[in-house]
Structure 1
Amino acid sequence: MSSSSTPRAIPLATIEHLDRFAGQNVELRGWVHNRTSKGKLHFVTLRDGTGYVQCVLKKNDVSDELFDTIGAASQESSLRLFGEVRADDRAPGGYEISVTGGEVLQSTSDFPITPKEHGADFLLSRRHLWLRSRRQWAIMRTRSAIMFSLRRFFDERGFLCIDSPIFTPSACEGTSTLFEVDYFGDEKAYLTQSGQLYAEASAMAFGNVYTFGPTFRAEKSKTRRHLTEFWMLEPEMAFATLEDVISLAEDMIVRVVSDVLETRRTELDVLERDISKLEACKGGFPRITYDDASKILLEHPDSEFVEGDDFGAPDEEILAAMHDQPLVITHYPKAVKAFYMKEAPENPTRVLAMDIIGPEGAGELIGGSQREEDLDTLLAAIAHHQLPMQEFEWYLDLRRFGSVPHGGFGLGLERLVRWICGIEHIREASPYPRMMTRIRP
């Protein structure tokens, strides 16, 4: 370890906010992302989690010990540096550091993830280290901004965050795609795939609520759109119609995209994201009914859609490709949707449901509906789906005591991250993805 004396009264800065310290001496703490040397100069690209900056060490400006130790420090060596923040239009971020002192906390070697190409399995097996790469840095910071924007959107509208349980005794739509857990003795429980039913109960107590947390689905899928563990945001509104649900979802997406464009432009540049695609998301989303969408698909030469079925990923891509904004599809067949969705008054074979399909191959971002508020109708639906009636007695109480029209939707966070970041596979949208074939690291 090499060190030099610590300058007095020097502020600790982060790379993200170097603009606040232009012309001042600061302390930076971080890791070597890259280093090159030319004679009496070392150029160190330092990362600190908030950004990247070039630090320039001139042999005559620092101790010989520090200069030599930095010269031997390879990728991911940890540093503490002092120096002047200098504006430089040629530098990434517009600033660089003229180093006057510092220390190497740990000099490392043989970091396994080098600038060369690595396969997906190699990188996923080293996900704990892969997160340090510039691309993953950009994705995770964008994900964080999306989560912040979502919470702020609902908090500003007076929605209360009420957590739903992860252990549940029953499922929203049957147990075929749930993970079963031994729950003390002979009791069986499941890892939830949705917090919706409990969010409905919370809405009857607090009006407008949302739940935001991890959910699980034991679907044996290996597509680029599916994870085994993922985060869901699920708002529920009392005294709401399908139109209210659609309006809320549309406003939410527009707000989040706008916030990301404002606060994560650097990260989108790193990802080489075509931001014109995001800037097109201004609201007034195109809408189409299931029946009209079916007609389009049945006439499309590349579609294998069967009338009456739910839409698959290829169908969604065909429909979404016709628009530059997310597409709202409404009034699905009752036979392909969940038991709790309200029948359309004008056609009992359809339900007051909606999906929002993202552009650019993003797939389904949101699924929602107006919920059935009538007790007898809901009793019949549970029986028709052959669900265990006793497990839904508490849910039926919501229709026995003060039932009102209400509705909500579910947003898959990782799918939204995938679309906004413009990444191909959803596994990069999760810090530590869990998939059918992967549970480590």
Structure 2
Amino acid sequence: MKTTINQVKDYVGKDVTIGAWLANKRSSGKIAFLQLRDGTGFIQGVVVKAEVAEETFATAKRLTQESSVFVTGTIVEDTRSPFGFEMQVKEITLIHESVDFPITPKEHGTEFLMDHRHLWLRSKRQHAVMQIRNEIIRATYQFFNDEGFLKIDPPILTGAAAEGTTELFHTQYFDEEAYLSQSGQLYMEAAAMAFGKVFSFGPTFRAEKSKTRRHLIEFWMIEPEMAFVDHEESLHVQENYVSYLAQSVLSNCKLALNTLGRDLTKLENIKAPFPRITYDEAIELLKEKGFTDIEWGEDFGAPHETAIAETYDKPVFITHYPKDIKAFYMKPDPARPEVVLCADLIAPEGYGEIIGGSQRIDDLALLTERYQEHQLSGDAYNWYLQLRQYGSVPHSGFGLGLERTVAWFSGVEHVRETIPFPRLLNRLYP
């Protein structure tokens, strides 16, 4: 019976064949321990010289790292293994012999590993991170489908830059100027006016010349948009969504989390409701924590966000930022027009902003005024203004950065490990 490693639990006591690669091995004169991987997981294959053909044991002894094989044997339970099972190998068929695989069990520098990212992905640690990423994606679709959202795909190429061009990648679209999208939000607002509750999931691009552990040039965003929903209602959706993701990862990725050495109590604590603090309160808190130079009207950097997050044992919303440091489309607070109905969700443990969201301006005159204040490009977004001209309604939305969320849940330090092939300021290879 041919199967995969993640299905061997269904074949205890039975003989199966698995196509695999050799991740590592150790052996003595009479027994060989093969660490096998097949893309679905890792399992140990035990080859006992006295119990197999001479040729089989000889093959096991000479196998090199990342050689590909078909391995046949009996699946047995093994309580000593984190996986819980191992294979008692009976036969080995060599498919391809790998020679001088460059990533050995010894320590390698980050740049070396990034240059060999196409091979580094095979490691147990990277496998665990990608499993967590996959679970977050799966749970995202599950959550929004269950909540009655329709998935809509906004364009990646746009004809203008609604929030300025300094962080956008420029390209030529036949005889027109074009940009790679830094957010699908404006298009999702149009979709919400057609379908009520929508979400997108796709790549976005920011030409920020940043080298921090939180930044990528190309990353993936989940961007829900909701008609007839105000700021307060949107905050409830956000905290329920993040809580759902955390509990899904805990339930379905326990082995991966253990592989990464993640403190599970940190994830168990991610349950709605989340604490909230206004921008005004955040300024006062920062001054108390020694950031005496911070002034009202300044945006927060990574050290500020980390200091605020350390005050709480859960993710924390920072709400009601000054309108002058936020996007033109955010709705001012009717009770205090100098601030907007928005929130950033700051993750604990120094992982920074995970979500940015707001209630959108639904008044045409005010949106036009704000559009002009930001000196945005002429007629390119007339269609966006028309959303307030034909049946405008209160609406809200937010964006969650996938890679930062993967880093947070996984406990890895840098977002470069949370995407298969990261694009960084000085890296376009491989």
Q: Place the TM-score, normalised by the shorter chain, in its bin.
A: over 0.9
Stretch deviating more after TM superposition (313-322 or 30-39): 30-39
Q: Does residue 22 in structure 1 map to residue 22 in structure 2?
A: no
**Which of 308, 317, 339 is the aligned partner of 1:350?**
339
Contact 1:303 1:314 in 2 (8 A): no
Partner SS, residue 325 of structure 1: coil
Paired residue for 2:104? 114
**Which of 161, 165, 172 is the aligned partner of 1:171?**
161
Partner SS, residue 89 of structure 2: strand
What letter corresponds to residue 95 of structure 2 in structure 1?
A: L
Q: Spell out, residue by residue over 1:79-114, the C-alpha distance to the aligned partner (whole angstroms, 9 max, x if none).
A: 101111111212231111111113011122211111
Paired residue for 2:317? 328
**Which of 267, 271, 274 is the aligned partner of 1:285?**
274
Contact 2:60 2:92 in 1 (8 A): no
What letter corresponds to residue 418 of structure 1 in structure 2?
A: A
- Determine the C-alpha separation between the residues in 2 that align with 1:60 and 1:16: 28
**Which of 412, 417, 421 is the aligned partner of 1:432?**
421
> Closer, same or farther in 2 for the Cα pair 1:246/1:155, shift >3 Å?
same
Q: Does residue 71 in structure 1 map to residue 83 in structure 2?
A: no
- Determine the C-alpha separation between the residues in 2 that align with 1:177 and 1:409: 20
Per the TM alignment, residue 62 of structure 1 is displaced from its structure 2 partner at its CA by 2.7
Paired residue for 1:385? 374
Give the total of aligned pairs: 430
- Determine the C-alpha separation between the residues in 1 that align with 2:51 and 2:109: 42
Paired residue for 1:402? 391
Q: TM-score, normalised by structure 1?
A: 0.96
**Which of 281, 292, 297 is the aligned partner of 2:286?**
297
What letter corresponds to residue 193 of structure 2 in structure 1?
A: M
- Determine the C-alpha separation between the residues in 2 that align with 1:233 and 1:29: 35
**Which of 408, 413, 416 is the aligned partner of 1:419?**
408
Per the TM alignment, residue 165 of structure 1 is displaced from its structure 2 partner at its CA by 0.2
Partner SS, residue 140 of structure 1: helix
Q: Spell out, residue by residue over 1:333-375, the C-alpha distance to the aligned partner (whole angstroms, 9 max, x if none).
A: 0000000000100011000011000000010000000000000
Paired residue for 2:240? 251
User: Where does structure 2 lack aligned partners over 5 or more consecutive residues?
Assistant: none
Contact 2:270 2:315 in 1 (8 A): yes
> Closer, same or farther in 2 for the Cα pair 1:233/1:303, shift >3 Å?
farther
Contact 1:327 1:358 in 2 (8 A): yes
In the TM superposition, 1:38-437 aligns within 5 A as: 38-185=28-175, 187-302=176-291, 304-437=293-426
What letter corresponds to residue 58 of structure 1 in structure 2?
A: V
Partner SS, residue 194 of structure 1: coil
Contact 2:329 2:360 in 1 (8 A): yes
- Determine the C-alpha separation between the residues in 2 that align with 1:232 and 1:171: 18
- Determine the C-alpha separation between the residues in 1 that align with 2:162 and 2:198: 18
- Determine the C-alpha separation between the residues in 1 that align with 2:325 and 2:364: 21
What letter corresponds to residue 19 of structure 1 in structure 2?
A: K
Paired residue for 1:8? none
- Determine the C-alpha separation between the residues in 1 that align with 2:285 and 2:159: 41
Per the TM alignment, residue 26 of structure 1 is displaced from its structure 2 partner at its CA by 0.8
Per the TM alignment, residue 303 of structure 1 is displaced from its structure 2 partner at its CA by 5.8
- Determine the C-alpha separation between the residues in 2 that align with 1:201 and 1:244: 20
Paired residue for 1:32? 22
- Determine the C-alpha separation between the residues in 2 that align with 1:270 and 1:210: 32
What letter corresponds to residue 181 of structure 2 in structure 1?
A: T
- Determine the C-alpha separation between the residues in 2 that align with 1:222 and 1:359: 21
Name the Cα RMSD after superposition: 1.0
Q: Spell out, residue by residue over 1:197-246, the C-alpha distance to the aligned partner (whole angstroms, 9 max, x if none).
A: 00000000000000100000001101000000000000000001001111
What letter corresponds to residue 112 of structure 2 in structure 1?
A: F
- Determine the C-alpha separation between the residues in 2 that align with 1:418 and 1:428: 8
- Determine the C-alpha separation between the residues in 1 that align with 2:277 and 2:291: 20
Per the TM alignment, residue 302 of structure 1 is displaced from its structure 2 partner at its CA by 4.7
Contact 1:172 1:194 in 2 (8 A): no
User: Where does structure 1 lack aligned partners over 5 or more consecutive residues?
Assistant: 1-10
What letter corresponds to residue 236 of structure 1 in structure 2?
A: E
Contact 2:162 2:377 in 1 (8 A): no
Partner SS, residue 75 of structure 2: strand
Which consecutive segments of 4 or more residues in structure 1 shift more than 4 A?
none
Contact 1:290 1:332 in 2 (8 A): yes
Per the TM alignment, residue 131 of structure 1 is displaced from its structure 2 partner at its CA by 0.3
- Determine the C-alpha separation between the residues in 2 that align with 1:92 and 1:419: 23
Contact 2:321 2:340 in 1 (8 A): yes
- Determine the C-alpha separation between the residues in 2 that align with 1:161 and 1:422: 29
Paired residue for 1:6? none
- Determine the C-alpha separation between the residues in 2 that align with 1:219 and 1:304: 25
What letter corresponds to residue 39 of structure 1 in structure 2?
A: G
Per the TM alignment, residue 195 of structure 1 is displaced from its structure 2 partner at its CA by 0.2
Q: Spell out, residue by residue over 1:297-355, the C-alpha distance to the aligned partner (whole angstroms, 9 max, x if none).
A: 12321564232111111110000001111000111100000000001000110000110
- Percent identity, aligned pairs only, is 51
Per the TM alignment, residue 36 of structure 1 is displaced from its structure 2 partner at its CA by 1.3
